[in-house]
């Protein structure tokens, strides 16, 4: 009879593997460059590196700059998607798809061919639709997001950075074009300036690796929040994890699945969150990005994490 393989990562602490990864990252020369299309992010130091792992019970292990707040940017698209799915369910998919786009995160080209319906909730166009729905459902998209992140992370002061939001607004022509274009197809309910204001504040949320790993915990607990209440059904948590795996790192999602093998979501602030369903969540931060907008050191750290621990969805 074939025996099942031994359980992976039997050690009772993730600290040794994090320490080993931090040493490997420290000697890496290649770091990428911080996002420069949002001036407030351009001055970030690409040598900053932090990584945190949160277990299902809220125990957190960390290394490097894991307690330094950074700009969460598109990581927040994961949380707004979950908050809308929780209330709206399957009806959301009439307004946004769930297929990888194979295009850059801020691309306009598919939108016209596909009648103003964005490919998925993680490209900017899709995230704008999700934030539009969250604002319609709650009357306060950014307030709802912050309330959720504060509760899950345990930090009542977690907030957004108004000067980053102002910088995004001042340099937001591409997002404004996406929102107006979708509005012309009837796929935006709120006035575009209201939607953009909500979206830019959402992108400007600042949090640490520890806080973001904790806030992602519901996806490893099959939809259950830190206080044991349910945000998503088990099936909906599976759906969000699946969309992270296939669309969370944009046109690099295939390479991320190959190297890391986990549902993950990146942001141009240099953060990446990742989920080991039923086991733990991770957040890694380093501001230097590759050409597709994913943190170079972040992916380089998640890759050995899954190799060393054997924790992956595959
Ligand atoms: O809207 C934007 O372009 C940025 N505020 C967020 C983009 C982002 O993080 C995409 N991630 N890789």
Q: How far is the CA of 312 from the centre of ligand 1 (A)?
A: 26
Does residue 3 form part of some domain?
no
Q: How far is the CA of 54 from the centre of ligand 1 (A)?
A: 25
CATH number, domain with residue 31 = 3.40.710.10
User: How many structural domains does the chain have?
Assistant: 1
Q: How far is the CA of 291 from the centre of ligand 1 (A)?
A: 13
- Please tell me the least confidently modeled range out of 20-24, 149-153, 248-252: 248-252
pLDDT of residue 141: 98
pLDDT of residue 187: 98
**Protein residue with its CA nearest to atom 12 in ligand 1:** 267
pLDDT over 60 (residue 7)? no
Ligand 1, atom nearest to 127 Cα? 1
pLDDT of residue 178: 97
Kindly indicate the confidence band of residue 137, based on its pLDDT and cuts at 50, 70 and 90: very high
Domain that holds residue 195: 15-309
Q: What is the mean pLDDT of the chain?
A: 95
In this prediction, residues 16-24 reach a mean pLDDT of 97
Ligand 1, atom nearest to 174 Cα? 3
Q: Which residues does ligand 1 sit against, CB inside 6 Å?
A: 73-74, 105-106, 124, 168, 175, 203, 266-268, 293
Q: How far is the CA of 2 from the centre of ligand 1 (A)?
A: 47
Question: Which 3-state string (H, E, C) describes the chain?
Answer: CCCCCCCCCCCCCCHHHHHHHHHHHHCCCCCCECCCCCHHHHCCCCCCCEEEEEECCCCEEEEECCCCCEECHHHHHHHHHHHHHHHHHHHHHHCCCCCCCCCCCCCCHHHHHCCCCCCCCCCHHHHHHHHHHHHHHHCCHHHHHHHHHHHHHCCCCCEECHHHHHHHHHCCHHHHHHHHHHHHCCCCCCCHHHHHHHHHHHHCEEECHHHHHHHCHHHHCCCECCCCCECCCHHHHHHHHHHHHHHCCHHHHHHHHHHCCCCEEECCCCEEEEEECCCEEEEEECCCECCCCCEHHHHHHHHHHHHHHCCCCC
pLDDT over 70 (residue 22)? yes
Best residue for ligand 1 mutational test, from 145, 203, 251, 256 (most atoms within 8 Å of Cβ): 203
In tens, the pLDDT along 256-277 reads: 999 999 999 999 999 999 999 9
- Please tell me the least confidently modeled range out of 5-9, 74-78, 190-194, 260-264: 5-9
pLDDT of residue 28: 86
In this prediction, residues 26-55 reach a mean pLDDT of 92
Does residue 124 form part of some domain?
yes
Portion of the chain with pLDDT greater than 90, in percent: 88
Q: Annotated catalytic sites, by residue?
A: 74, 77, 199, 250, 268
pLDDT over 80 (residue 4)? no
Ligand 1, atom nearest to 124 Cα? 1
Does residue 80 form part of some domain?
yes
Does residue 4 form part of some domain?
no
pLDDT of residue 307: 95
Does residue 277 form part of some domain?
yes
In this prediction, residues 162-182 reach a mean pLDDT of 96
Best residue for ligand 1 mutational test, from 201, 267, 269, 286 (most atoms within 8 Å of Cβ): 267
In tens, the pLDDT along 56-66 reads: 999 999 999 99
Does residue 196 form part of some domain?
yes
In this prediction, residues 279-292 reach a mean pLDDT of 96
The pTM of the full predicted model, rounded to 2 decimals, is 0.96
Does residue 2 form part of some domain?
no
Q: How far is the CA of 147 from the centre of ligand 1 (A)?
A: 21
In tens, the pLDDT along 70-119 reads: 999 999 999 999 999 999 999 999 999 999 988 888 888 889 999 999 99
Does residue 5 form part of some domain?
no
pLDDT of residue 10: 64
Ligand 1, atom nearest to 168 Cα? 5
């Amino acid at each position: 009879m074939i025996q099942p393989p031994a359980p992976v990562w039997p050690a009772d602490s993730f600290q040794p593997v994090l320490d080993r990864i931090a040493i490997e990252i420290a000697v890496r020369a290649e770091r990428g460059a911080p996002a420069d299309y949002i001036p407030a992010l351009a001055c970030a130091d690409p040598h900053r590196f932090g990584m945190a792992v949160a277990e299902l019970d809220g125990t957190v292990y960390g290394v490097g700059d894991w307690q330094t707040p950074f700009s969460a940017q598109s990581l927040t698209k994961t949380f707004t998607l979950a908050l809308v799915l929780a209330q709206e369910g399957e009806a959301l998919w009439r307004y946004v798809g769930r297929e990888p786009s194979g295009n850059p995160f801020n691309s306009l080209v598919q939108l016209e061919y596909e009648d103003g319906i964005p490919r998925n909730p993680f490209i900017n166009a899709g995230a704008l639709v999700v934030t539009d729905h969250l604002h319609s459902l709650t009357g306060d998209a950014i307030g709802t997001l912050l309330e959720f992140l504060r509760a899950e992370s345990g930090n009542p002061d977690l907030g957004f950075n108004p000067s980053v939001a102002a910088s995004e607004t001042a340099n937001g022509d591409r997002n404004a074009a996406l929102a107006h274009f979708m509005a012309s197809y009837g796929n935006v309910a709120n006035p575009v300036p209201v939607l953009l204001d909500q979206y830019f504040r959402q992108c400007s949320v600042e949090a640490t690796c520890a806080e973001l790993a904790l806030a992602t915990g519901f996806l490893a607990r099959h939809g259950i929040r830190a206080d044991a209440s349910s945000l998503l059904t088990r099936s909906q948590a599976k759906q969000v994890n699946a969309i992270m795996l296939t669309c969370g790192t944009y046109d690099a999602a295939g390479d991320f699945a190959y190297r890391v093998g986990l549902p993950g979501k990146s942001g141009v602030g240099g953060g990446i969150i990742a989920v080991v369903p039923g086991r733990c969540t991770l957040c890694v931060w380093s501001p230097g990005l590759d050409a597709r907008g994913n943190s170079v050191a972040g992916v380089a750290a998640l890759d050995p994490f899954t190799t060393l621990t054997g924790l992956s969805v595959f």
